[in-house]
Structure formats: C-alpha cells, structure tokens
Structure 1
Amino acid sequence: MSKKGLFGLLLAVGVPVISYYIVKFTSEGSVDMPRHYFFDTVIEKTEKGKLVKDTVWHKVANFTFTNQLNKSVSVDSLKGKILVVDYFFTRCPNPCPTLTRNMKKMQDAFLKNDSLVHFISLTVDPSRDSVEALKRYADKYKVRHNNWWFLTGDKQTIYKLAYDEFKAATIDGGEVDTAFLHTNKFYLLDRDRVIRGWYDGTDSIAMAKLAKDIGLLFLEKDKKKKRNLFRK
C-alpha cells in the first residue's frame, strides 16, 4: 500500500475510534497524553512544609496577521481551540504542496469537530504572497475557510514568531535558514497554546500520529475533573 493510501486508511480508521479510546482509557484509569516540551520558568513554593515545583510551560504568544479573506485575525480569537500550524509559501515547488494536501486531509478528518480544531498556514514569503495569492492557493486545494487561515504580514514578525515562539530552530536541530525559513513541520498546540508536538508534514505515519494526538487533546478539556486519568 502506498504512503498516501496508508495515511488515508489510518485517518479513516483512527479518528472514528477516538470514542473507543475514551471508554477504554477511562476504564483502565490512565491516558498517555502528548507531552510538554518547552518551559519558560519553574516556580518554587512551600506547601505544608514541603518544597513544591510548578513548571510554567511555554505558551505561544498572540499574533495578528491578515488571512486569505483579507481579514485581520488574531490567534487570541481562537481561545479554547486546538491549533495545527505550518509554514509554507505559494510558489514553493516542494514540499509545500504535500504539506497542504496533508493538512487538507487532516481538516477533512476532523470535519465534525471543526469548532474544536483550527488550522493555520503562515507564509514565509509575504512580499509575494498577497491576500489574493493566498486565496487562490487555498481555493486550489479546496480548503474550508472557516477553520483554516492562510496568513501573511510583516516578514520580520513572522520569522520572529517562528524562532522565538514555535522554536523552529530548536525543533529542526538548528538547521534553519534565518534568511528564508523552510520547514516541513506541523506544530500541535493545545487549548492553552502550549506546544505539544511537531510532526513531519510529508510523512504518512507522522500524520496519523498527529491525528491521534489531536484526538487525545480533545480529552484534556476535562482533565481538571478527571485528573487521575492523565499521565504526562
């Protein structure tokens, strides 16, 4: 079976069985959730005579750019949603078309949960990727605009976001061209905009894992009520 076929099969089978996992993991008493990766600080405090450490995980800062519908949009408006983010440019011959096709498959897989997950593609070539270019590109791949933004804006701001907030250089092993960012990673952010994973957007197995991890993050909304169910 081709990678494309395998990816489609894994999504077709994997996403519907999330409800099964909920029942199964709840009965077993624990869930292995997508881990946290980057922290900003560790707070130490004393509780009942004991030193307690509380990790403050890195939260991606708010950003505002213009989308393919010529609307100024802010990620703060997506409060409570799971985010999947990638970087691309419309003139890219490879691997951007593959990234976009796989993101589209992910959007289709979570069609019934489109109010819970939002997709974002940031151009790394904003001088050429106008609003009109982004709209043509999005329409070419028949994306649904309601929960997928293609964003353009100031290049310096976009790149600073990639390096400082999404940790692109760290995730890509330091092999990132600061003059022209070109990464094939999909970044998964939870409802608090904390990075919970990154995935090779050209790889079918990685995409199936991303689909699974999105499903697991759906469960996390109730973690305060059922804290014993979650391991990290």
Structure 2
Amino acid sequence: MRKKKTIILILFSLICGLAACSNGNKAKVQSVSNGDQYQKVGSFSYIDQDGNSYSQADLDKKVWLANFIFANCETVCPPMTAHMAKIQKLLKDNGVKAQIVSFSVDPKRDTPQKLKAFGMKFDANFSNWHFLTGYHQKDIETFARKSFNTAVSANPTSDQFIHGTSFFLINQKGQVIKRYDGVQNVPYKKIVNDIRDLNKKER
C-alpha cells in the first residue's frame, strides 16, 4: 500500500507540479523567456547510447529538442518517449532538421546499453536522437535546474525518480525558448512548425 501511495504522489508531482500546469491553464506551449532574456543551456560533455562522447559543441548552431527520462521509469517516460518518437518521424517526413537529446535522470543504472535498448523499444532513430548518461546524480539535478529550470530528484522510498515532463525547444544559440507538454495533448504540429521557423531564421 505504501508503494502504491508513493507512485500516486510521484505521478501527481510529475504531471501537475513539475510539468508546469501553469495555474490551471490548459495551454500546452509555454514561452520560457524572462523579458528579453532566455535561459541558456550550460556546458556539458556526456556519453550517448553508443558510448560516444556527446556535448553542447555537437549542438552548436543547431535547433534541438530535449527532455528528461530514465529507462526504469514505471509512469511517464514510456509515453513521453513514444511522443518524442512520433515527433522525430514527423520532422523527417516534413524535411525539418533538428537534433533530439534525452537526458537520463538515473545515470547510475542507465548505462549506454540500457538506454539504447530503451530507445529501440520506441523505434528511435539514433542518427539525430541521443540518449545521454555518464555523470553523477547530483550533476544532472544541478544541470536540469540551471539549464532548464526543471527539477530532478531521486525518490528516497523507491527506485523511481521525480522529474519534469516537458519537451524543451533550444535554438541555434543554445537558448531554451519554449517548453511543451510531453505527456498529454502533445502539440506535434506546433513543435514541427516552431522548429521549421527557427531553421528559416538562420538562412
């Protein structure tokens, strides 16, 4: 019973607390600017699902989407990853270029091999979708907070993790400019169009 209550609390926190429900507003797209200022993604150098180094330098002058997941997730991560896979296919079908990065919030257990197996369950195309690990738990908690203004924490009573469920859009300058609901009513077309518009601005 205690485990069941814990899972319910995690779900509530994820969907309402950390997913930015925005005061009951049903909008699924949010600007993340503070006036004219955007949050910039901090420097990082991690390891992807193939065991290769992957850093912000690989994303220089590129548009990309980011989210936070873990392979052992029992709640929101599978649907989030399925939604991201659909976005990846839509991008390809519409000839829109973007990179996708999924940061593991469980780096201790999420080896490159485990992340690759997780991505393969959803037919992820690893040519432009990287699942990252290779850091300490505290590192990803700090990185998520400082770069994306989203919380990540281990649940002390289970093997699950509390983390935000947004999809983040990052522009060519490495700035987080929008966040979208990654669990329910995902605005697929809006995301594709926003990425297309960003790519046009750099031409």
Instruction: With the length of structure 1 as denominator, give the TM-score of the two structures.
Output: 0.65
C-alpha distance 177-66 of structure 1, shift in aligned 2 (>3 A): closer
**Offset at residue 157 of structure 1 (A):** 1.4
Asked if 1 retains the 8 angstrom alpha-carbon contact of 2:168 and 2:178, the reply is yes
1:195 and 2:195 correspond: no
**Offset at residue 114 of structure 1 (A):** 7.2
Q: Structure 2: which amino acid aligns with 1:158?
A: I
1:106 and 2:102 correspond: no
The structure with the greater share of residues assigned to helix is 1
Q: Which residue among 124, 131, 143 is the counterpart of 1:161?
A: 143
Whole-angstrom distance in 2 between the partners of 1:113 and 1:80: 21
Q: Structure 1: which amino acid aligns with 2:43?
A: N
Q: Which moved more, 1:115-124 or 1:78-87?
A: 115-124
**Offset at residue 200 of structure 1 (A):** 0.8
Asked if 2 retains the 8 angstrom alpha-carbon contact of 1:199 and 1:207, the reply is no
Asked if 1 retains the 8 angstrom alpha-carbon contact of 2:96 and 2:196, the reply is no
SS at match of 1:215: helix
Q: Percent identity?
A: 29
1:74 and 2:59 correspond: no
C-alpha distance 211-84 of structure 1, shift in aligned 2 (>3 A): same
Q: Which residue among 64, 82, 100 is the counterpart of 2:45?
A: 64
**Which residue in the other structure is 2:110 paired with?**
129
Whole-angstrom distance in 2 between the partners of 1:191 and 1:95: 28
Instruction: With the length of structure 2 as denominator, give the TM-score of the two structures.
Output: 0.74
Runs of 5+ unmatched residues, structure 1: 1-33, 40-54, 170-175, 223-232
SS at match of 2:187: helix
**Offset at residue 204 of structure 1 (A):** 2.8
**Which residue in the other structure is 1:29 paired with?**
none
Asked if 2 retains the 8 angstrom alpha-carbon contact of 1:200 and 1:207, the reply is no
Whole-angstrom distance in 2 between the partners of 1:207 and 1:116: 15
Runs of 5+ unmatched residues, structure 2: 1-29, 156-160
1:116 and 2:97 correspond: yes
**Offset at residue 76 of structure 1 (A):** 1.1
Whole-angstrom distance in 1 between the partners of 2:50 and 2:168: 23
1:37 and 2:18 correspond: no
1:221 and 2:202 correspond: yes
Q: Which moved more, 1:75-84 or 1:209-218?
A: 209-218
Asked which structure has the greater CA Rg, the reply is 1
